[in-house]
Amino acid sequence: MKEKVIATVLAIFMIVDAVLSVNAALHAPFPAAVPLGSPAAYLNVYLHVPIAWATYMLFIIGFILAIAYLATGNKKFDKYSELFIYTALVYAFLTLITGSMWAMESWGSAWNWDPRETAVLLLFIAYLVYVAIRYSIRDPERRATVSAVFAIAAFATVPISFLAPYLIHGSLHPTMSNTESFLSHPSTKTYFFSKVFTTVVTAILIPIAIGMRADKKIVTAGALGMFIILIIGALMVMPWGATGRVEAAYFTKGSLKFQFYTANNKIMTHTGGLIITVNGKNITLTTSKGLPKPNFIPVPNFARGTNKTGIVVECCGSKYWPTILGHIVKVSNGKVTVLKPFTVAWTLLTYGIFVPLFVVLMVRRRE
């Protein structure tokens, strides 16, 4: 009975988490302006960041269980410590590869030896050694003891990786302090914290379900549902047919009327044309259809822009880059469609492949 209950709960959370992931990728707000790349890349705040938080939570629980095993000698603590750490490694791997794709879009390079990047890589390597230890020692009791000791020692990399951007000056990685105005905005809270909750709970339920030998049919159904939803979501947000990235935008005189949404949801009207520069080529738009609507939020002190283009978002006494700048767009017949950058689809894709695959393989292995 317990096996079916935990399997059902896990399956529900996997599907709900997948639905919330796709919903965030399609509809969640993003910063009005960012230092580099597409502002829409920061939709990864709702995708990559919860995965990273789940990684930390799994390692913390694995650490506590390792201490509990050494203190009591109870083999259940060793078993679940192992399962939590194995699951954490999968999430750490996802954190690295989704973060790298986001970095490519927003920092210009997939790997920059940023303090947080480097620290998470070291964390990942340290716990790979944990796996090697478990597979290299045959005696069960000695394996459990040595593994627990190493898990406790390796845990030092967890707080180091979290604190790295705060401790080392010049980190590219956003921190809670410089994204606070974005994450604290009323329109982001529901998306962000609901995603963090479902992602973290799903991650915690996975090793519990594996350890309890949860009903494999129910778990497999949940994993399949998660896979299908996230793959479809990735295909939906993929930047198909992209013309390129907007490098500049300016008004011209004329009779056409263009309407733009400011960050506080007001409409600004301009009579004339709009020319955007995409991949070095000037394109004259004949309609404002497809231009960003107010699903963006000004972020003071995060990415301040200039007033060179004439299309300016204003907030809090500061001016920001227009939201059209930096976006990846598709232009056809004088109409522009703002697309999501590839990094958003990549996160959905990798999350939708690796987590369900890991769950199915581990559940079947523990039969």
Q: Lowest mean pLDDT: which of 45-54, 167-176, 202-211?
A: 167-176
Q: Which residue has the higher pLDDT, 59 or 285?
A: 59
334 and 358 in a common domain? no
191 pLDDT exceeds 70?
Answer: yes
pLDDT at 300: 57
Of 214, 237, 252, 210, the closest CA to residue 81 belongs to: 210
Q: Which residue has the higher pLDDT, 287 or 147?
A: 147
213 and 152 in a common domain? yes
Give CA–CA dist 150/349, Å, rounded: 33
Structural domain total, the chain:
2
Render pLDDT for 165-181 as a digit per residue (tens, 0 to 9). 787 776 777 766 667 66
Render pLDDT for 138-155 as a digit per residue (tens, 0 to 9). 999 999 999 999 999 999
Q: Which two tokens stand for residue 359?
A: 């769950």
308 pLDDT exceeds 60?
Answer: no
315 and 228 in a common domain? no
352 and 306 in a common domain? no
Side chain identity at residue 110, one-letter code: A
Q: Lowest mean pLDDT: which of 131-140, 149-158, 286-295, 321-330?
A: 286-295
Confidence of residue 159 (pLDDT cuts 50, 70, 90): very high
- Residue range 110-125: average pLDDT? 90
Give CA–CA dist 365/355, Å, rounded: 15
The HSE-up count of residue 187 (CA atoms within 13 Å, CB side) is: 14
- Residue range 39-56: average pLDDT? 94
349 and 331 in a common domain? no
Q: What is the domain range of residue 319?
A: 244-339
pLDDT at 359: 97
pLDDT at 110: 86
- Residue range 41-50: average pLDDT? 94
186 pLDDT exceeds 90?
Answer: no
233 and 298 in a common domain? no
Length of the chain measured in residues: 367
- Residue range 32-51: average pLDDT? 88
Q: Lowest mean pLDDT: which of 6-20, 67-81, 82-96, 181-195?
A: 181-195
For 259, which DSSP code?
Answer: E
pTM above 0.75, yes or no: yes
pLDDT at 319: 58
163 and 92 in a common domain? yes
Bridge pairing between strands 244-261 and 267-278: antiparallel
Instruction: Output the average pLDDT for the chain.
Output: 87
Q: Lowest mean pLDDT: which of 30-39, 52-61, 166-175, 305-314?
A: 305-314
pLDDT at 306: 44
185 and 164 in a common domain? yes
Render pLDDT for 314-344 as a digit per residue (tens, 0 to 9). 555 555 566 788 889 998 887 888 899 999 9
Torsion-angle region of 26 (φ positive above 0: left; ψ -120 to 50: alpha; else: beta): alpha
Confidence of residue 61 (pLDDT cuts 50, 70, 90): very high
Render pLDDT for 17-30 as a digit per residue (tens, 0 to 9). 999 999 999 999 88
Confidence of residue 307 (pLDDT cuts 50, 70, 90): very low
Residues 158/53, Cβ–Cβ less than 8 Å: no
358 and 335 in a common domain? no
70 pLDDT exceeds 50?
Answer: yes
pLDDT at 303: 52
Q: Lowest mean pLDDT: which of 29-38, 84-93, 106-115, 291-300?
A: 291-300
pLDDT at 187: 81
350 and 291 in a common domain? no
Confidence of residue 135 (pLDDT cuts 50, 70, 90): very high
165 and 66 in a common domain? yes
67 and 189 in a common domain? yes
Of 58, 62, 60, the closest CA to residue 94 belongs to: 58
